[in-house]
Chains A and B, each alone.
Chain A
Amino acid sequence: MKDYGVFDILGPVMIGPSSSHTAGAARIGKISSEIAKGFFHKVTFNLHGSFAKTYKGHGTDRALVAGVLGMEPSDERIKDSLNIAKEKGILIEFIETDLGYVHPNTVKVDFHYKDRDDFYVIGSSIGGGNIIITNINGNEVEFSGDYPTILLKYKDQKGSISKISSIISNEDINIATMKVSREGDIATMVMEIDSPIEDKIIDNISSLNEIIYITGINPITR
């Protein structure tokens, strides 16, 4: 039996019309841009399944764009996000596509940059505003963004994991979950921790010389 709290039943406070097609889409957009980082000048949303079929009527398009612009699911500017992106000079493109055997509400978000290579994030909206991120630039991952999450890519060396985790525990922070996968000698780590992520921790970990990429994502309040 899944546990429910009062604010799982009354909430989220959100912009309509659909928790999965609007609120969840905004969360995917927001988390994707926090992962991709930097100044993108164009974003392409590759919409799959029900997202592809009903994105206009559900405002999924506006919610995704609002998300990549940093808005939260309860932000009343979501409705105008397409115009806001235009004012900021960010090009937006929607493509209806088939991403294969994935959840029906899935989107692949491609970020395009002038000064570096494209970067993509794939996420699914799995109901009630809940999401999972399943792929980051070709690295398969799985996390919900409900907890403070640290994403890492590093050159795997002896003791890397223990170095990283001791930095975390030195700050008196508890690691809730940790998943590591490896391709060649490059490892991807997704770590969920129990307290909000502070810049200090990200800075400390990134000072390790094996680190290729790191970002910390704090959950969107609900």
Chain B
Amino acid sequence: MFNKATELLNLCKEQNKKISEIVMEKEMKHSKISYEELIDKMNDILNTMVSSANSALDKEVISVSKISGGNAKKMETYKNKGNTISGNLINSAMARALSTSEVNAAMGRIVAAPTAGASGILPSALLTTRERFNLSNEDMIHGLFTAAGIGEIIAKNATISGAEGGCQAECGAASAMAAAAIVELVGGSVETSLHAASFAIINILGLVCDPIAGLVEFPCALRNASGVANALISADLAMAGIESMIPFDEVVEAMYKVGKAMPESLRETALGGVAATPTGEEFKKKNL
């Protein structure tokens, strides 16, 4: 059992195991299921993720409210022209994150990871890493367990809900989960995974939750795109050997406190941030 990252790190060290291995063992005990059942369940999750991350790339998926959609396809088309500023990998990652966000807003099937609002980040991060390093399905599944372990620590010690902690909690958690998983997948150490997860949260500490008209669309889809970029660069920062001065557990606590200090208007009420701008208000009036 582990509640904190320090405990997880110790378990990994004592048993000379990866985060994913410790998380899988814990889960088998926790929910009393066999290894095969566990892998099967995660495989279902992975399949849903793969399909949501790809299905809006070649066709326009428009949201139920009709206020957004079609941007994943735009991004993919732009990337395919080969003249992007930040490169193929980042652009492809953003397109896939947008895809899941758009599928979600259009009432398609997604995996809450850890929430529906932030569901685009982790699938895209893993698929992008798979493509770059030719990883296997099994690697993806391991990556998902690593991500879940990091998510559990955040959920237990802070929050993963935008209504409670702002977008730093939702998209922050998703990016941290993804960053730690990427590091493990490319062969980084447990410490490096935790540095990457710390960076991902620190990079967006204080980010507010301000969905226009209260709908999980704008700025949510954008924050999924920037969230996956955040995960990828955080993983690179850590793999370069840069260390977080603040340990992950303390970063999580800081995030929680910042969330608590946020006024309610910036926590999913659509009463602050871009939701409360004149244009945001106009959308709200038209759509409610």
Contact A17 B31 (CB under 8 A): no
Which interface residue of B44, B45, B109, B217 has the most chain A CB atoms within 10 A?
A: B109
Q: Which B residues touch A4, using CB under 8 A?
A: 151-152, 155-156
A2 CB within 8 Å of chain B: yes
CB closest residue in chain A, given B27: A6
A15 to B117, CA, bound (A): 12
Q: Which B residues touch A17, using CB under 8 A?
A: 63-64, 104-107, 116, 215-217
Interface residues of B in 20-67 (CB under 8 A from A): 23, 27, 30-31, 41-42, 44-45, 48, 63-65, 67
Q: Which A residues touch B157, using CB under 8 A?
A: 1
Contact B161 A57 (CB under 8 A): no
Contact B116 A13 (CB under 8 A): no
Q: Which A residues touch B106, using CB under 8 A?
A: 16-17, 79
A38 CB within 8 Å of chain B: no
CB closest residue in chain A, given B104: A16
CB closest residue in chain B, given A55: B288
Contact A54 B214 (CB under 8 A): yes
A56 CB within 8 Å of chain B: yes
CB closest residue in chain A, given B67: A57
User: Which size class do B's interface residues fall under?
Assistant: 35 or more
Contact B108 A13 (CB under 8 A): no
Q: Which A residues touch B177, using CB under 8 A?
A: 9
A8 CB within 8 Å of chain B: yes
CB closest residue in chain A, given B160: A9
CB closest residue in chain B, given A54: B214
A23 to B287, CA, bound (A): 21
| Stretch binding the partner chain, chosen from B141-149, B191-199, B273-281 | B141-149
A188 CB within 8 Å of chain B: no
Contact A5 B155 (CB under 8 A): no
Q: Are A127 and B163 also in contact (CB < 8 A) when A13-B109, A16-B116 are? A: yes
A4 to B122, CA, bound (A): 18
A22 CB within 8 Å of chain B: yes
Q: Are A19 and B156 also in contact (CB < 8 A) when A9-B148, A127-B161 are? A: no
Q: Are A13 and B111 also in contact (CB < 8 A) when A1-B3, A1-B156 are? A: yes
CB closest residue in chain A, given B1: A3
Instruction: Kindly provide the distance from the CB of B252 to the nearest chain A CB, expressed in whole angstroms.
Output: 13
Q: Which B residues touch A56, using CB under 8 A?
A: 64-65, 287-288
Q: Which A residues touch B287, using CB under 8 A?
A: 56-57
Contact flags (1/0) for A33-60 with B, using CB distance below 8 Å? 0000000000000000010011011110
Q: Are A7 and B41 also in contact (CB < 8 A) when A1-B3, A62-B107 are? A: yes
A17 to B117, CA, bound (A): 7
A58 to B23, CA, bound (A): 34
Q: Which A residues touch B65, using CB under 8 A?
A: 56-57
Which interface residue of A58, A62, A127 has the most chain B CB atoms within 10 A?
A: A58
A128 CB within 8 Å of chain B: yes
Q: Which B residues touch A58, using CB under 8 A?
A: 64, 214-216
A74 CB within 8 Å of chain B: yes
Instruction: Kindly provide the distance from the CB of B155 to the nearest chain A CB, expressed in whole angstroms.
Output: 5
Contact B116 A18 (CB under 8 A): yes
What are 19 A-B contacts defined by CB distance under 8 Å?
A: A10-B114, A11-B112, A13-B45, A14-B111, A16-B104, A16-B107, A17-B64, A17-B104, A17-B107, A18-B216, A50-B214, A53-B214, A57-B215, A57-B287, A58-B215, A58-B216, A62-B64, A78-B107, A128-B115
Listed from nearest, the 7 A-B pairs whose CB atoms lie closest are A16-B104, A9-B151, A57-B65, A6-B148, A79-B107, A17-B216, A57-B215
